[in-house]
Amino acid sequence: MVTGKLYDFVLFNFLVKDKKNAEEVINAGRGFVIPGIIASEFDDIHAGARRVKEIKEVAELVSIGLGGGGNPEFAGRVVEIAALSNPGHINQPFERSSFARGYLEGIGNPQLVNALVVPSGHVGCIKLYSGLEMKVEDFVEMAKAMGIESVKFMPLKGITHLDELVYLTKIAAKNGLRGIEPAGGINHTNIKRVINAVKDIDIEFFMPHIFGSTIDKESGRTIPAEVKKILLALEGKPC
């Protein structure tokens, strides 16, 4: 990640509808934003690639998510869109993350690929999307050996799995992973608590994915005022 980071480690991922919405969201987020799209919205991968390229006219990086609540069914579509558009960051279930990374590097289009895992309900353990439960230490060791740089932790469910997230972040940082990306139920009421829980952990980037609370349900556009609300809440200022 080469974009600016709030407090030197925080970035935000917000979904955007188009280039204009990306500009609005980046400005509202004071530049600490990686705008994203989700592959589930694009049956035509060429349309998805065009959208990424349009957004990259105003953003250094674009994130391509799976969609469908992290549905691995769309993992291949993410990679296909990335291969045509060079977004900079893509989301993959852990089981496919190493393949995606290697494939894109092999065609001369390397990306930062995260690896999606699921809370287990127990501090010190994570679950893969397949349901396999692993100790965090074993998982991080495997991820590092596979060249994975960042882990997506979803669904956080607000602060329900916060202790699990903190433990994962500590172990990831200790072992040299670059980033942790929590998602699910994060909004202006809990963002400060989430960030404060990891602020003393020395990790390169911590990127909350914030969707539902900031998107206009009719237009599908992320609302700039809601993005501002997130930052104000994090800074302890009135929203």
Work out the pLDDT band at 136, boundaries 50, 70, 90: very high
Nearest 5°: phi and psi at 179? -150, 160
Rounded CA-CA distance 71/84 in Å is: 21
pLDDT of residue 5: 87
Q: Whole-structure pTM over 0.85, yes or no? A: yes
Residue 1 confidence (pLDDT) above 60: no
* pLDDT tens by residue, 23-63: 999 999 999 999 999 999 999 999 999 999 999 999 999 99
Q: Which two structure tokens, joined as six digits, stand for 90?
A: 């893509």
| Residue 212 pLDDT | 86
The Cβ of residue 47 has, within 10 Å, a number of other Cβ atoms equal to: 12
Residue ranges of domains in the chain, CATH in brackets: 12-114+177-234 (3.20.20.70)
* pLDDT-derived band at 3, boundaries 50, 70, 90: low
